[in-house]
Structure formats: structure tokens, C-alpha cells
Amino acid sequence: MGKKCHEIQCNQIAIKLFRQIKTRFKILSTLTFIFFFISCGSAKDKCVGCEYTLSRLLEEYGSKKFTVKTDYKDGFVHVFEHRNKYGEAGLYYFDSSGRIRFYAFLIDSTNFVDFSIEYDSKGCIINRTGSEVVNGYFRKSEDSIKATFFLNSINTAYSNINVRVGNKIIEIDTLYQSDFFSNILGRTISLPCSWVESEPMLYVKGLKRNLCTNKVNIFIDSTLIPNEVR
């Protein structure tokens, strides 16, 4: 169930909002709730410009991590992150001035995405698809389930993160920069198998601050823990 991306994206990229649950973490977009919580900064909460640039990306993560190509048809610089073994990677588009105009997280080698953000020339978000949690994984150990989740960190800060299964809650004090992906924060937690025997739903909740507008929102994402690891 996919749809074509906007013209700003390359022709081979498509948005797929739903995909089969395997042993990888799948956020259910239909069960995602994002609530307005509190707003600071300007009275109208308007983005006044918060550029993220190509030079900053390459300085922070190194040029060897990416393949950089200029598309002379659309005029954008396409920056492809090197993929992991699942075919996952970040994709960036920058304009001729080096300012970010588009980001997507590719979920497999077919170039489908569950998460994307489109920016205007000032770096302000004008369109967004997908859940707050970009992607993640589940894996089974002897007496527990390891759950890893990822959040996008471009001009965004997170706090008060917790994970809930039934009435059991794990508070997340720190998110870590991904060892593989750029602008991705993540955390792996251990869930006792007894927690998920009767309650297969997992919820990730927290506060996200837009560093361009200083606005803070509550987000809640949910996923069904796959049978393969329960």
C-alpha cells in the first residue's frame, strides 16, 4: 500500500505506510497519536529558519559515510547514506545553497520509506510522513526480548522517554547516537518475556522539542511485538 513521493524526491522512492511485520520493529501509523503539549518561543510559533546544511552533515559524520550526487534535472544534491545489511539508510536532498530540503529513512533495498520530512528553503518543516519512531528491531534472548527503537534528530531534541508494555513502564534516561545511521538516536531495552505473554503491544512515549520553533509535543507510538520473538 504505497504512494508516490513528492517531486522533490527521486522517482524510485515511494512512501509505504504499512509493511509486513517480521522480527523488525514496525510502528503502526494508524495507532500513532501526536498531541500538542506546550509551546514556547514566538507568539505565533512560526519557524523563523533553522538550516541544516550539507557541510554540517559531512563535518559531523564524515564524507566516507555517504555517496553524494547532483541531479541536474531537479537541481538538488542527493546524499545517500551507505546501507546496512537490511538495506536501511538515510537519504538527504540539499538545494544548490547546501540547505536541507528533504530527508527519508529507507527501510529496505527497494527504496521504500516509512518516515520522511520535507523542508522549505529556510529549513522549516512543510510536510512529514510516518510515525515518530523511525524504525527498530526485536530479538529474542534466553529469558527476555531485546527491543531497539530509533528517533530522527535533525533539529530535534527528546526528553522524558518511556517504554510501556501493559502496566509495566521502563524510563529511558539517555538516547544514544546510532553507530551506523546519521541523525538517528536510539536505545535498546530488555523486556522480560513474562511482560509480553498476555500483552503483545509496546508503546514508546516522550516529549520532542523542535529546535527551530522551540515547540514541545507529546508523542506516542505503538507496535505489535511479533509472534516470532514472543
Instruction: Determine the pLDDT at residue 203.
Output: 95
Q: Which of 28-32, 93-97, 114-118, 147-151 has the least mean pLDDT?
A: 28-32
Question: Do 84 and 172 form a contact (C-beta atoms < 8 A)?
Answer: no
Residue % of the chain over a pLDDT of 70: 80
How far is residue 147's CA from residue 188's CA, in Å, rounded to a whole number? 5
Give the burial class of 220: count Cβ atoms within 10 A of its Cβ; 0-12 exposed, 13-18 middle, 19 or more buried.
middle
Contact 89, 44 (CB under 8 A): no
At residue 79, does pLDDT exceed 50? yes
pLDDT surpasses 60 at 48:
yes
State how far the alpha carbon of 91 is from the alpha carbons of 52, 94, 113, 135, 147, in Å: 14, 10, 10, 14, 24
Tell me phi and psi for residue 30, to 5 degrees.
Answer: -70, -15
